[in-house]
Amino acid sequence: MYTHNLDPVLFDLGFLTVRWYSLAYIFGILIGWWWGKKILLKKLKINNFNFNIKEFDDLITFLIISLLVGGRVGYIVFYNFNYYISNPLDIIKIWEGGMSFHGALIGIIFGTYLFSSKKKLPTFLLLDIVACVAPIGIFFGRIANFINGELIGKTTGLGWGIIFPAIDKNPRHPSQLYEAFLEGLILLILMNFIFSKKNYKIGTCSSMFLIFYSIFRIISEFFREPDVQIGYLFNFFSMGMILSLFMLIAGIIIFFRNKNEI
C-alpha cells in the first residue's frame, strides 16, 4: 500500500514557483507539436495532400489559446458555475486549478475550425492530427493530477490502493493513473495506428478519438469520486459521464457521416 506524499511544486524560489501541472501542459504541447509535424510530414509524402507544413506551426498558437480558454470556461460552466458567478475575479486564477477536458475539447475544435476557415485548409485533416497527439497531453495531465493528489479515486481493498493523507486514511483507486493509461497511452496507440493506414480517410481519427476517449473516460469514472460540489446526477451519473455520453454520440454521428461520404 502506497501513501501519497508527492509535492505538486517542483521548486519554489519565492519569486518563481514551478508546478508539475504547469510542466504537464508545457511538455504536452511541445511533444505534441513535434509528433504532430512528424506524422503529418509522413502522411503528406504518402498522400497528395495540398498542405504547407508551416501552417501547422501557426495552428499551435490557436490551439494553446483555445485549450486554455475552452478548458477554463468549460470548468466554470460544467462544474462550478454558482461559485464563479459569486466570485467573478477568481475566473482568471487558472493557476489555482479548475480546467475541464470537455471544455478544452470544444475550444480546440472551435479554434481549429476558425484557423482552417481563415487559411482555407481542410478542418478534419487538422483535427485528425490533433486527435493523434492529444493523448500525449492527456497522459501528462493525468500524471500531474496524481502528483497533485486531485481527482481521487473511490476507496478500494485492492493491493495497489493509494492513501492520500490530505483526503483521509483510506486506500483509494489511483484513478488518475487509470486515465493516464487508457486516455493517454492506449488512445495514443489507437489513434496513430488508425492514422498510419495507407487507405486512411480524412475525418476518421476525429470521430474515433471522440468515441474511444468517451468509452475510456466513462470506464474511469466508475473508479473516480464525483466532484464534491456536484455529486452524482440522477444518483448514478457523474458530470464527466454525461459530457462523455454527448461526446460519444457526436463521434458516432461524425463516423457514419464520414463513412457515407463518397
Spatial separation of the C-alpha atoms in residues 97 and 220, rounded to whole Å: 21
The overall average pLDDT reported for the chain is: 91
What pLDDT sits at residue 50? Answer: 67
| Global pTM value | 0.92
147-193, pLDDT tens digit by residue? 999 999 999 999 999 999 999 999 999 999 999 999 999 999 999 99
For residue 19, what pLDDT band results from cuts at 50, 70 and 90? Answer: confident
Model confidence band, residue 199 (pLDDT cutoffs 50, 70, 90): confident
Residue 171 pairs in a beta bridge with 163
- Model pLDDT for residues 101-128, shown as the tens digit of each residue: 999 999 999 999 999 999 888 899 999 9
Q: Read off the pLDDT of each residue in 24-31 and give the average, rounded to a whole number.
A: 93
Q: What is the pLDDT of residue 44?
A: 77
Minimal CA–CA distance to 63: which of 135, 124, 132, 127? 127
Distance between CA 204 and CA 133 in Å, rounded?
Answer: 14
Overall average pLDDT of the 195-214 stretch? 94
Give how far Cα 212 sits from Cα of 187, 208, 216, Å: 7, 6, 6
pLDDT of 49 higher than 70:
no
Checking if the pLDDT of 196 tops 70, the result is: yes
Residue 34: alpha-carbon gap to chain centroid:
18
pLDDT 10s digits, 58-103: 899 889 999 999 999 999 999 999 999 999 888 888 766 788 999 9
- Determine the residue type at 155: T
Out of 4-18, 43-57, 138-152, 202-216, least confident range = 43-57
Task: Give the model's pLDDT for residue 5.
Answer: 92
Say how far apart CA 256 and CA 251 lie, in whole Å: 9
